[in-house]
Amino acid sequence: MISNDSYTDLLIIGAGPAGLMAACWASQYAMTTRLIDQKSERTKAGHADGINSRTMEILDSFGVADIVMRQAVGNMDASYWGVDEKTGNIRRIKCQPSQPQELSRFDQMLLNQGAVEQILIDYLDSKGRVHVERGRKAEDLELPGRSGRNGDDEFPVQVRVVSTNDEDGQCDNAEVIHARYVIACDGARSWTSAQLKVDSDVWKTESTWGVMDIVPDTDFPDIRRACAIQSGDGGSMMVVPRENNLVRFYLQMNGGEGRSPNGPEESEGSLEDLIDMAEKALRPYKLTYKHCDWWSLYPIGRRLIKQYRSDRIFFAGDAAHTHSPKGGQGMNISMQDSYNLVWKIAAVITGSVDPAILETYQLERRPEAEQLMEFDTRLVYAYEEGSMEDGSEDGVEAVREKYAGFMAGVAVTYPPSMLIGKRESNTAVARNLQLGKRLPSSLVVDQEDGCVVHLATKLNSNGCWKLLIFPGDLHSPGVWDRLSVFAKEFSGRFNNHLTSQSKKNTQPWETFLIHSSPRSSFGKSQLLGAFHHFGTELGWDHAKTFADDPSYDGDTGQAYQQYGIDKQRGGLIVCRPDQHVGWVGDIEDVEGLERYFSRFLIKTERT
């Protein structure tokens, strides 16, 4: 078999949600990226179906959240059902919003994994830089130090890939892909981790659940609400409304050991068995179905790899961690893994940052997976053993309430590191913000056209750092002077570095001005005068100016208050390319800002 050699900056193995998100990020950068998957087509039915608020924010940063919302079902209400001791039938105990509304501007959404994958595939097609290569199977892997090779190669990872023919099972057209970096997004049975013999922490499988996506025919009143149900003979069950009139049922099975997570064996049960179990759990209500889209049986198993990185290879999604689907976190955590990682790899590849930032991937994402294991363990126990009654400390409602921020994805807070500048920051400047946490959105008014917009909609995932300048009220004494001094000093300290980056066709950051004056109280020329020191290399233009003006309809005029910024003092906020707050300081503290960026920004050529 003849092998062809090819070279790429980044190779992504696996085109599930994690791999597709990685490719969407990579498509923003001036680098070469390959995305391979051994399957002949995307996920068609079943699998993950929950999209949490933070994932919706991320999808919005790529401009595709509205597409998701047109197809998905909003997860607005959650109801809890328990057993009526007098009748033995189930009764509704409580109905309430599925999550606190103040957590995000987006609600949780419900949409099948295949539809989410297609939305990301369509996005990649529109960008035209990265495409899914189907029927491409990795079958051999070489790293520096293995097979006697040294580590001086510019493309040190070698992956031998073959094309698969699904009709006869034959493989041909071998290719050796030489890559600078590889991201393994190849699922729970990761081929890559098997090649590298990656160690994992494994929790024993304790129970088995069945899952089915059906169009139900029922008189159960909460069939279009997310439900947690604990019945008598019927055991525990979850009901999750889905798109196209589908409803997903999760049912606790008897036994549990030794069942296959890839699908049921005929001897283990059938769809009709699951329907019978669901109808028993819903008594006194009736249940049949008009159509079944997908069903399966799976054991509850938890696994977490100990190291998210092996040399130039990184692990994301199910290749790094597996757990139950109870909390709707699998697709979300997976996509957020690669969203955290790829901008860092891309910045290293394009030569703008120190490769040491890659160490922050393990530092930031593994603790989130550890919390996922804890949450998943408690939630599964609550469904199987807990009570639905009010005040129950081990019940589903109590667990969901405790982990509400985690489930929504907005509580993620990364620890201090070279990217989270705790030492260089003055957090008193923005009292209500937390370093390492994503910047919550606030309504502001566009200085140019007067449109009320969410500030987060301007923080697109384009690879740039975002410098948010909050000068305060421009009519207050000294504010214009401080703003002009900042602009001049910032330009002087950063211009040379930015010029060196522009030669590499990279744009390190964008600059935004959010003042607290009435929008109509001054003209564009005044703002341009204050920022005449800023050029295009500094990432500022008059279209990135906003007013925190309370005179407009809606909840405007609250940004300074929401972030805890004094309107007389002002301040600076730096958001990383993934919208997490990396640094906060006084508007005069350009030196502190420079110290922060100097920890990882470099001027050297690609390494």
Residue 47 Ramachandran class (φ > 0 left, ψ -120 to 50 alpha, else beta): left
Q: What are the counts of helices (DSSP H) followed by strands (DSSP E) for the chain?
A: 14, 28
* Residue 81 three-state SS: strand
Q: What's the angle, vertex CA 49, arms to CA 453 and CA 45, rounded to 5?
A: 125
Collapsing DSSP to helix, strand or coil, 256 comes out as coil
Q: What pLDDT does residue 250 have?
A: 93
CB-CB contact of 212 with 294 (8 Å):
yes
Pick the CATH number of 4-72+111-200+304-381+397-408 from 3.30.470.10, 3.50.50.60, 3.30.420.10, 1.10.150.120: 3.50.50.60
Sheet holding 443-446, edge to edge: 452-454, 443-446, 545-547, 509-515, 465-472, 571-575, 581-585
In this prediction the pTM is 0.92
CATH 3.40.30.20 domain extents, the chain: 437-598
What are the pLDDT digits (tens) for 411-458?
999 999 999 999 999 999 999 999 999 999 999 999 888 999 999 999
Kindly state the tokens that stand for 304: 């977490």
* Helix or strand holding residue 292 (H, E): strand 287-299
Residue 258 has pLDDT above 50, yes or no: no
- Token readout for 382 is 């609550």
Torsional class of 367: left (φ above 0), alpha (ψ -120 to 50), beta (otherwise): alpha
Of the pLDDT bands very low, low, confident and very high (cuts 50, 70, 90), residue 503 is very low
Q: What is the pLDDT of residues 271-323, one digit of tens each?
A: 999 999 999 999 999 999 999 999 999 887 899 999 999 999 999 999 999 98
pLDDT digits (tens, 9 = 90+) for 151-183: 458 999 999 999 986 555 455 679 999 999 999
Q: Are 193 and 23 within 8 A, CB to CB?
A: no
User: Which two structure tokens, joined as six digits, stand for 126?
Assistant: 């529109």
DSSP secondary structure string for all residues of 53-75: HHHHHHHHHTT-HHHHHHHSEE-
Residues of the chain with CATH 3.50.50.60: 4-72+111-200+304-381+397-408
CATH superfamily, domain 437-598, is: Phenol hydroxylase, C-terminal dimerisation domain (3.40.30.20)
The pLDDT of residue 472: 95
Cβ–Cβ < 8 Å for 234, 83:
no
Q: Transcribe 568-600 into DSSP letters.
A: TT-EEEEE-TTSBEEEEE-TT-HHHHHHHHHTT
Residues 6+ apart with CB under 8 A from 276: none
Of all helices (H) and strands (E), which one includes residue 344?
helix 330-349
The pair of structure tokens assigned to 113 is 């994994």
How do residues 62-76 score in pLDDT, each as one tens digit?
A: 999 999 999 999 877
